[in-house]
Amino acid sequence: MFKKTLARSPEAARIVPFAVFLALTVCQGQFGPASAEWFYLAKTIAGAWLICLVRPYVTEMRWAISWEAIVAGVIAFIAWIGLDRFYPKIFHAGATGDPGAILGADSPLTTLFIIVHIVGMTLVVPPIEEIFYRSFVYRYIAAKEFLTVPLNRFLPLPFFATAIIFGASHNEWLAGILCGALFQWLVLRKNRLGDAMTAHAITNLLLGLWIVWRHDWHFW
Please give the pLDDT value at position 103: 87
98 phi and psi angles, rounded to 5 deg: -75, 115
pTM of this prediction?
A: 0.94
What is the chain's mean pLDDT, rounded?
Answer: 94
Q: Name the pLDDT band for 102 (thresholds 50, 70, 90).
A: confident
Domain residue spans in the chain?
A: 2-219
Please give the pLDDT value at position 93: 45
Please give the pLDDT value at position 156: 98
Higher pLDDT, 14 or 94: 14
HEC letters along the chain: CHHHHHHHCHHHHHHHHHHHHHHHHHHCCECECCHHHHHHHHHHHHHHHHHHHHHHHCCCCCCCCCHHHHHHHHHHHHHHHHCHHHCCCCCCCCCCCCHHHHHCCCCHHHHHHHHHHHHHHHHHHHHHHHHHHHHHHHHHHHCCCHHHCCCCCCCHHHHHHHHHHHHHCCCCHHHHHHHHHHHHHHHHHHCCCHHHHHHHHHHHHHHHHHHHHHCCHHHC
Please give the pLDDT value at position 94: 44
Q: Name the pLDDT band for 49 (thresholds 50, 70, 90).
A: very high
- If one counts every other C-beta atom within 10 angstroms of the C-beta of residue 197, the result is 29
Please give the pLDDT value at position 95: 45
Query: d(Cα 11, Cα 16) in Å, to the nearest integer?
Result: 8
75 CB burial (10 A radius; 0-12, 13-18, 19+): middle
Please give the pLDDT value at position 92: 53
Comparing CA positions, the residue from 185, 176, 171 lying closest to residue 138 is 185
> What is the Cα 114 distance to its own chain's centre?
17
First-to-last alpha carbon distance for the chain, in angstroms, is 35
Least confident of 17-21, 93-97, 98-102: 93-97
Query: d(Cα 103, Cα 125) in Å, to the nearest integer?
Result: 24
Give the dihedral sign, CA 206/207/212/213. Answer: positive
Higher pLDDT, 93 or 72: 72
